[in-house]
A and B are shown apart, each in its own frame.
Chain A
């Protein structure tokens, strides 16, 4: 007999010897108890309807999950969620009426002046007025600034300057160092940092 397996071969007999004793004297007690008890009907057992052994064997074969790893993972998720909430709370609040849920106003040109029209109420307000001929008003993506062009000169073919004002049209500032030609449109970069 191989020494490596001898202990395993001897164990069944050793265990039988260790547990050897007189025959149990309580068999009749068990039978009296069971004779007085009713069996549960078969339909109440899920095992009668489902192959439970497949589930239990799969459960037993499943790898052991470390509760410590689960706790670390939960902590990591908590930190990430907290960081996301904090980052969200730090975003710049937009002034009325340009909050994300607000109805937007539509800028338009009339007679060389810039107006903002409210599509809900139908009312308009002047954004940029004056003797200059302004055109192509464009709100920045966050609605806080307004870009537009202004004609320069008096000839029929005019160069233009690009201006940026506050969202309400105040404080217009020229951003082109010198007049430019052949500009048919302007637009904001997606981050709203500059017009182009």
Chain B
């Protein structure tokens, strides 16, 4: 059954249809949440909260084909809510190393991941959300801006700044790395 039909059935209260939608999207949402929050436990909470809101408020979704973007939005907003609460009440969390080299990793791929990881670490949650929504979840910048409730120009400038940081990292740490400099978001 295609996703549109599943969404329509779930909207009518069919929980089995909703379960199929959850199985199809949970891994991607979990990865996005971990990239944004850099904390596995918080990411789990954010995804649970996002999908719970999706089920509860599914009847507010007018266009079934926009289900993916809508769930991304709910989950990212849950991430940002949790991040705000975390800032207000500092708690001790285990700092997760987001990646580790594997046996078959080419050296330059490891270097590239390290550079991007370093830049992501320095961004705040909203900055990371812009990167993740645009480059990992594939939303256009206008939708990223709508999702985060910020002007498109702000989203664009923050994205360009992050890309600039990545290029600077490349220039400093690995002049010969395959991750080359240049490029702005137009």
Give the interface of A toward B (CB within 8 A).
2-8, 10-12, 14-21, 23-24, 26-27, 29-31, 33-35, 37-42, 45, 47-48, 53, 56-57, 59-64
Contacts and interface: CB of A to CB of B under 8 A. Distances in A.
Interface in B117-166: 117, 120, 131-132, 135-136, 138, 142, 145-146, 149-154, 163, 166
Contacts of B178: 6
Given A15-B136, A18-B98, A34-B18, A63 B113 contact: no
Interface in B163-186: 163, 166-167, 170, 178-183, 185
Given A7-B183, A24-B44, A39 B58 contact: yes
Contact of A19 (B98, B166, B170): B98
Interface residues of B, number: 60
A8 to B, nearest CB: 6
Contacts of A31: 15, 18-19, 22
B57 interface: yes
Given A40-B57, A53-B146, 14 more contacts: A2-B182, A14-B116, A21-B30, A24-B26, A24-B27, A30-B52, A34-B52, A34-B56, A37-B56, A39-B57, A41-B59, A60-B142, A63-B153, A64-B151
Majority SS of interface residues in chain A? Answer: helix
- The binding surface of chain B is classed by DSSP as helix
B30 A8 contact: no
A178 B126 CA distance: 88
B16 to A, nearest CB: 10
Closest 6 CB pairs of A and B: A4-B182, A45-B60, A19-B31, A42-B59, A3-B180, A34-B55
B79 interface: no
B52 A11 contact: no
A27 B23 contact: yes
Contact of A39 (B31, B40, B56, B131): B56
A39 B13 contact: yes
A14 B112 contact: yes
A168 B179 CA distance: 96
B51 interface: yes
20 contacts: A3-B180, A3-B183, A4-B180, A4-B182, A5-B183, A6-B178, A6-B179, A7-B181, A11-B131, A17-B99, A18-B117, A19-B35, A19-B98, A20-B99, A26-B48, A37-B55, A37-B56, A40-B57, A48-B60, A64-B151
Contacts of B22: 27, 30-31, 34
Given A8-B183, A39-B56, A18 B35 contact: yes
Given A31-B22, A40-B56, A60-B150, A19 B32 contact: yes
Contacts of A30: 22, 26, 47-48, 51-52
Interface string B39-80: 010001001100110011111111000000000000000000
